Structure 1
Amino acid sequence: MATATRTARTVLERFPAGAPRGQWPAEAFAAEQRREGIPARVVMDLDSDSFLVVVDGGES
């Protein structure tokens, strides 16, 4: 049986999944953060139907 490991994350920004361009704004924001040295990535929050730009290891 596999167990899930929870990692603390800081949410930098939220983008609605129903937006006309979908995930693109979230990916563009995350790429901008990475260019500034912040290891941001995009995850999908199914409960809120949003794309979240997060940084692992922060306070959630």
Structure 2
Amino acid sequence: MNGRTVLERFPAGGPRGSWPAEEFAHARRLEGLPAEVVMDLATDMFLVIVRAGAAGDAAA
């Protein structure tokens, strides 16, 4: 296990001035999930994740 739950994936080549991964993570944080954005270099994708243990059962 890598200790995280991937909530959503976004391509790194989004439109100029658009930050869909950050916007999605922000909306999840407003819902109470400690979501964060990380880059997966192998797939060239931004991942919105919740780390294991950060939200109780949300990462199970």
TM-score normalised according to structure 2 size: 0.79
Contact 1:40/1:53 (8 A) holds in 2: yes
Are residues 1:12 and 2:7 paired?
yes
**Root-mean-square deviation over aligned CA pairs:** 2.0
Could you list the structure 1 runs, at least 4 aligned residues long, displaced by more than 6 angstroms after superposition: none
The structure 2 residue matched to 1:40, chosen from 35, 49, 53, is 35
Query: Does 1 or 2 have the higher relative contact order (CA < 8 Å, sep 6+)?
Result: 1
Q: TM-score, normalised by structure 1?
A: 0.79
> Unmatched 5+ residue regions in structure 1?
1-5
Q: Mark the structure with the bigger radius of gyration.
A: 1
Paired positions, count: 54
Unaligned runs of 5+ in 2: 53-58
Q: Percent identity?
A: 63
